[in-house]
Amino acid sequence: MSMRFGLTLAAAAAVLTLAGCSSTATNPAKPQAAAELESTRGNETKGTVRFMQTAANTVLVTGQITGLKPNKEHGFHIHDKGDCSSGDGMSAGGHFNPSGSAHGKYGSDAHHGGDLPSLIADASGIARVNTEIKGVNLTAGQANNIVGRGLIVHADPDDFKTQPTGNAGARLACAVIK
């Protein structure tokens, strides 16, 4: 290998290395959070849910919840308070609702910021979630930030109309989004 070719190759490697560093500095990591669902008193529901902000007010929600009633739909909501201290999950308060909207089905014109798509358990009582939600974020200091809020899995399906909670029944599991 000639000296000239070796220097050219070294210069090209240096440029590529610096270019890689440059893109890291201009594309910071996307905000992320997680919630470790713990069973409320007398229940066996638990799981892990992850949140990743994909745009200014859009969050990808992924995870797996176990210990649900097999082949059943369960209400799933972000609640106002990040407090799971009462054995029944009631310390998490009502649905997170920064806009003061009526309760409704996620994706409809009128719904709380905490209204999420229902969980559907399989024959083994396991539900998987993989959905993008709009109108919330993981950005500190913003009114629609969900970090520090509660995450609740309910015993029954959400009817998407009963105000203000959707008549989704008892709280099977609770977590704080961190």
Predicted local distance difference test score (pLDDT) of residue 1:
52
109 shares a domain with 63: yes
148 shares a domain with 76: yes
pLDDT digits (tens, 9 = 90+) for 123-134: 999 999 999 998
Domain tally, the chain: 2
pLDDT digits (tens, 9 = 90+) for 55-80: 989 999 999 999 999 999 999 999 99
116 shares a domain with 147: yes
Q: What is the 3-state secondary structure (H, E, C) of the chain?
A: CCHHHHHHHHHHHHHHHHHHHHHHHHCCCCCEEEEEEEECCCCCCEEEEEEEEEECCEEEEEEEEECCCCCCEECEEEECCCCCCCCCCHHHCCECCCCCCCCCCCCCCCCCCCECCCEECCCCCCEEEEEEEECCECCCCCCCECCCCEEEEECCCCCCCCCCCCCCCCEEEEEECC
- How many other CB atoms are found less than 10 A from the CB of residue 6? 10
16 shares a domain with 82: no
Query: pTM for the whole thing?
Result: 0.81
83 shares a domain with 51: yes
Q: Which residues of the chain have pLDDT under 50?
A: 5, 22-24
118 shares a domain with 36: yes
Predicted local distance difference test score (pLDDT) of residue 54:
95
For position 71, which CATH number holds?
2.60.40.200
Predicted local distance difference test score (pLDDT) of residue 10:
52
Domain range for 147: 32-176
